Amino acid sequence: MSGPLFGDHGGVILLTGATGYVGGRLLSAFERRGVPVRALARRPTPPTAPTTEWVVGDVLDEASLRRAMAGVRSAYYLVHSMGGPGDFAERDREAARCFAAAARTAGVRRVIYLGGLGGSDPLSEHLASRQEVGRLLRESGVPVVEFRASIIVGSGSLSFEIVRSLVDKLPVLVTPRWVRTLAQPIAIADVVEYLQEAEQSDLPEGGTFEIGGADRVSYGGIMREYARQKGCRRLMLPVPVLSPRLSGLWLRLMAPRYARVGRALIEGVRNETVVRDDAARSRFKARPRGIADAVRCALEEQPPETPALRGASAAAALAAALAFCLGAGAVACALQESPPCPLRLIPCALSALAVWLVWKRDGLSETRLASAVFVLMMALQSASPRAGEVVAGLLTLTILVTAALFFVRRRVAGMLLLPSLLWVAGIRGSL
């Protein structure tokens, strides 16, 4: 896109959701172009550019909306309530009504809204709510440009971060049927381009436009493309069960930071989100890229990795790991009938270092599965000297699984468990 967005229309742009993922990207784009923006937020950030005015407000507070709408020509509605507790659909319903009424009273020329694709019935609660919000905004009588987007791909996008989290953490991915549902993922940069263009386009009556990337691909396809570009091999095992609800519980175990909103997104993946009306192509200049370019851009934007545990918390985690693992080794030594027992403590110390490296990188809550299997492994090691061939075989399996879960996070962490395998091999040889 080229040329000023502000044009000769007069007035200012109101941007809600400016502290969120899409709104933050859109605000940065406006600031680079010198477009005057009034950003509405409950907790405004420090000033970021002379063209941006931050105001305190809430889309559920009619008084703050009336103040924020003064002198506004176009208003962006880029908020949702999925991250909060309780009934997000009811809160979104009320917020949309408040925003629409304030826009009508203030004489806003246009409302621009980003919703979700999905045409098959029944829609998930998330997608149904997104489309209901668009309808409520239109009922105000103010022209509304509604974009209905598929999965948004970009560093920081919730959908993409779920893909990243699962592929980075798991050597084997169990893929239920919904993972194969067709979508049309779109890069965040292309979404922002559509949103900017909507403000200056000649759309006096508004309209609803479906937007997606150049490729139709499933969630599983995004996972494969991400793994390909990261240069890692992941085994994907399709299964006919594991409903979206159960998948949400699995997500809570594997990626708890994304679980609350991610569960609603996963339940929506049962609906195909592909573009069936190409009106956006004829009305806008944006030409979205394909999935390979979208993933490549997301990876290029990935911020430098910072350890989840640092300083005193990292030191405390290391002390706890050493105490637990050396304690398990001491129990094994007490049960072992033949020397040299002190050598047994070496694999235990290396195991402690391995789990600590994983904790240090990702934190305790993000490593629940790997930590649970690790604890089982150490418990079996404590009992293995006198427990017989069955327990020794189970121990071998848990070490291999733990090593795989550690290896995909930190390669050295997985390799540090190899001495434990050698110790088990010696135990099984003596049985």
Predicted confidence (pLDDT) per residue in 288-341, tens digit:
999 999 999 999 988 777 888 999 999 999 999 999 999 988 887 777 655 456
Tokens coding 134:
């668009």
Pick from 153-167, 220-234, 256-270, 408-422: least confident: 256-270
Q: Please calculate the CA angle 49-51-54 and round it to the nearest 5 degrees.
A: 75
Q: Please calculate the CA angle 135-157-76 and round it to the nearest 5 degrees.
A: 35
Q: Is the pLDDT higher at 395 or at 27?
A: 27
Statement: residue 381 has pLDDT above 70: yes
**pLDDT of 47-77, one tens digit each?**
778 999 999 999 999 899 999 999 999 999 9
pLDDT computed for residue 8 by the predictor: 40
Query: What is the overall mean pLDDT for the chain?
Result: 85
Statement: residue 409 has pLDDT above 90: no
CATH says 12-301 is which class?
A: alpha beta
pLDDT computed for residue 257 by the predictor: 60
pLDDT computed for residue 68 by the predictor: 93
Statement: residue 384 has pLDDT above 70: no
CB burial of 197-230 (b: ≥16 within 10 Å; e: otherwise) equals bbbbbebeebbbbbbbbbbbbbbbbbbbbbbeee
Statement: residue 36 has pLDDT above 80: yes
**pLDDT of 327-336, one tens digit each?**
988 887 777 6
97 dihedral zone (left: phi>0; alpha: psi -120 to 50; beta): alpha
pLDDT computed for residue 3 by the predictor: 36
pLDDT computed for residue 83 by the predictor: 54
For residues 431 and 391, give the distance between their C-alpha atoms in angstroms, rounded to a whole number.
11
430: confidence class by pLDDT, cuts 50, 70, 90: low
For residues 76 and 418, give the distance between their C-alpha atoms in angstroms, rounded to a whole number.
55
Q: How far, CA to CA in Å, does 182 sit from each of 117, 153, 342?
A: 12, 15, 57
pLDDT computed for residue 159 by the predictor: 83
> Whose CA is closest to 149, among 179, 180, 194?
194
Statement: residue 264 has pLDDT above 50: yes
Query: What's the length of the chain?
Result: 431
For residues 298 and 35, give the distance between their C-alpha atoms in angstroms, rounded to a whole number.
26
The percent of residues in the chain predicted with pLDDT above 90, rounded, is 52
Statement: residue 271 has pLDDT above 50: yes
> Whose CA is closest to 201, among 103, 285, 117?
285
pLDDT computed for residue 427 by the predictor: 58
Statement: residue 152 has pLDDT above 50: yes
What residues does 67 pair with on adjacent strands?
Answer: none
Q: Is the pLDDT higher at 260 or at 246?
A: 246
Statement: residue 413 has pLDDT above 80: yes
What residue spans in the chain does CATH classification 3.40.50.720 cover? 12-301
Long-range Cβ contacts of 28-32 (<8 Å, 24+ apart): 29/192, 29/196, 30/5, 30/196
pLDDT computed for residue 29 by the predictor: 95
For residues 150 and 182, give the distance between their C-alpha atoms in angstroms, rounded to a whole number.
10
Query: In sequence order, which residues have a C-beta less than 8 Å from that of residue 405 and are 6 or more positions away?
Result: 169, 170, 171, 369, 370, 373, 414
pLDDT computed for residue 9 by the predictor: 47
For residues 71 and 254, give the distance between their C-alpha atoms in angstroms, rounded to a whole number.
47
Annotate 311-367 with DSSP letters as a single string: HHHHHHHHHHHHHHHHHHHHHHHHH--SS--GGGHHHHHHHHHHHHHHHHHH-SGGG
pLDDT computed for residue 1 by the predictor: 40
Statement: residue 364 has pLDDT above 80: yes
pLDDT computed for residue 6 by the predictor: 38
Token match 């934190």: residue? 363
pLDDT computed for residue 47 by the predictor: 74
